[in-house]
């Protein structure tokens, strides 16, 4: 039941086809109960009392969802002034926002400083820039202790082949800059990459980060990063990351560390995907079914402007088919599911075994709640979809309007 809320009234009081009719197709549908469940699992993953979960809002920053995440007691990690604003819109205070920046301008950094948000920098020159802008201030640094992991080379964010973090060989330079600008180092953080299912690499990296942390005597926090994986494949026994098991290992490490360090500091983790991915199904409509040179194509309105992950990382998302509001089961044919974008790479699922699909059927793309709508675009002049939330009482609420044609043209300026 815990992993399968979709079967238990994911769409609340409405049916998938009613939702696409009412809010347009495609549409991102979120389930509040699933979202709350994931938040609660994370909140109780360790026993150590000073452990903060920062939801990494880059996975999905819809402010209505952030309101729920806030109610569940998670803080947030953000990447830009835009994400700071969206967090504030959802009711987050400055001291609940952690700004982890990468290659930012003075203007952007100043925005965070003036907003009173704790900032983490990830290069020596950005630390210098911070010192010039806020001498005597508090700052955190993102380190790269050398262990990376992730579902694709493009999302591995530590180790030797990435732009992120300060090489741990450079800690003496970090100390010199801190001293030069009288900065207080309040925290160190890292992020090894996105979507790991085994804890080993994460723990190795946590150990290395804590070794670095010992070099600084007065830290307030150490942030281990995010990347917690979920099971996009439902049938081949690949399970989500075992959170309780990871928590147990982290507890041992954290209690050991505070004993050696002589002070009870705060530890943080910053999962994004784990919080929101499974809370959403992206609904779309089949406009065409055709056979091209012996291959069956299901032509939908879910182009890669709506969900980029399959095209960008060859990511797998399960697809459900609804016919007259009922989920159709039974694998009956192999088909390639494509979108409506003018590129042949616009493929949602290649040679997938699916139930028989007909034109006008509604399909659901599972686990679309993380890196889905936030990565959507207006490519081909298409309108970004609406987002709706199924509340715990089964009622549905619009939480982001679908773009209109007016939205599409409003920021352009014609020549005189």
Residues that constitute the known binding site: 227, 270-273, 309, 313, 343, 371
367 touching ligand LLP, by CB under 6 A: no
148 touching ligand LLP, by CB under 6 A: no
Beta carbon of residue 416, minimum distance to ligand LLP (angstroms, whole number)? 41
Over the window 288 to 327, marking each residue x when it contacts ligand LLP by CB under 6 A and - when it does not, the resulting string is ---------------------x---x--------------
Annotated binding site for substrate: 273, 309, 313, 343, 371
Judged by CB under 6 A, the residue of 39, 371, 389, 390 near ligand LLP is 371
187 touching ligand LLP, by CB under 6 A: no
Give the integer Cα–Cα distance in Å for 281 and 175.
47
Judged by CB under 6 A, the residue of 224, 228, 232, 322 near ligand LLP is 228
Over the window 326 to 345, marking each residue x when it contacts ligand LLP by CB under 6 A and - when it does not, the resulting string is --------------------
* Residues forming a β-bridge with 295: 292
59 touching ligand LLP, by CB under 6 A: yes
Q: Among this protein's residues, is 342 annotated catalytic?
A: yes
65 touching ligand LLP, by CB under 6 A: no
Beta carbon of residue 269, minimum distance to ligand LLP (angstroms, whole number)? 9
Give the integer Cα–Cα distance in Å for 327 and 349.
18
194 touching ligand LLP, by CB under 6 A: yes
Residues 250-279 that bind ligand LLP (CB under 6 A): 270-274
What residue number has its CB nearest to ligand LLP? 272
Judged by CB under 6 A, the residue of 46, 100, 286, 335 near ligand LLP is 100
Pairing of strands 326-328, 333-338: unpaired
Active site residues: 342
What is the contact surface with ligand LLP in residues (CB under 6 A)?
56, 58-59, 77, 100, 155, 157, 191, 194-195, 225-228, 270-274, 309, 313, 370-371
């Amino acid at each position: 039941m815990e992993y399968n809320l979709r079967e238990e009234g994911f769409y609340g009081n409405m049916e998938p086809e009613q939702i696409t009719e009412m809010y347009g197709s495609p549409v991102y549908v979120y389930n509040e109960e699933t979202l709350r469940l994931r938040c609660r699992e994370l909140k109780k993953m360790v026993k150590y009392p000073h452990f903060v979960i920062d939801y990494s809002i880059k996975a999905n920053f819809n402010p209505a969802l952030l309101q729920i995440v806030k109610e569940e007691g998670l803080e947030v990690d953000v990447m830009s002034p835009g994400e700071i604003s969206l967090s504030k819109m959802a009711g987050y205070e400055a001291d609940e926002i952690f700004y982890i920046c990468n290659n930012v301008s003075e203007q952007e950094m100043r925005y965070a400083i003036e907003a009173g948000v704790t900032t983490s920098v990830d290069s020596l020159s950005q630390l210098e820039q911070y010192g010039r802008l806020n001498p005597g201030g508090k700052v955190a640094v993102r380190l790269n202790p050398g262990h990376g992991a992730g579902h694709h080379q493009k999302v591995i964010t530590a180790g030797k082949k990435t732009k992120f973090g300060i090489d741990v060989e450079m800690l003496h330079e970090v100390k010199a800059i801190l001293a030069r600008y009288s900065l207080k180092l309040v925290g160190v953080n890292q992020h090894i990459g996105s979507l790991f299912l085994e804890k080993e690499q994460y723990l190795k990296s946590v150990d290395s980060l804590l070794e670095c942390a010992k070099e600084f005597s007065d830290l307030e926090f150490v942030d281990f990063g995010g990347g917690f994986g979920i099971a996009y494949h439902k049938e081949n026994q690949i399970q989500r990351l075992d959170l309780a098991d990871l928590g147990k290992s982290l507890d041992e490490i954290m209690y050991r560390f505070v004993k050696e360090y002589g002070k009870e500091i705060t530890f943080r983790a910053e999962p994004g995907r784990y919080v929101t991915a499974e809370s959403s199904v992206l609904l779309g409509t089949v406009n065409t079914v055709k056979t091209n040179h012996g291959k069956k194509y299901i032509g939908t309105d879910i182009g890669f402007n709506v969900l980029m992950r399959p095209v960008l990382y060859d990511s797998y998302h399960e697809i459900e088919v609804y016919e007259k509001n009922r989920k159709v089961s039974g694998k009956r044919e192999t088909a390639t599911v494509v979108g409506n974008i003018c590129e042949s790479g616009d493929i949602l699922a290649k040679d997938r075994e699916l139930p028989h699909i007909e034109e006008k059927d509604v399909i659901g793309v599972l686990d679309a709640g993380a890196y889905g709508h936030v990565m959507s675009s207006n490519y081909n002049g298409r309108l970004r979809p609406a987002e709706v939330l199924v509340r715990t009482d089964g009622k549905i609420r619009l939480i982001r309007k679908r773009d209109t044609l007016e939205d599409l043209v409003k920021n352009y300026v014609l020549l005189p």
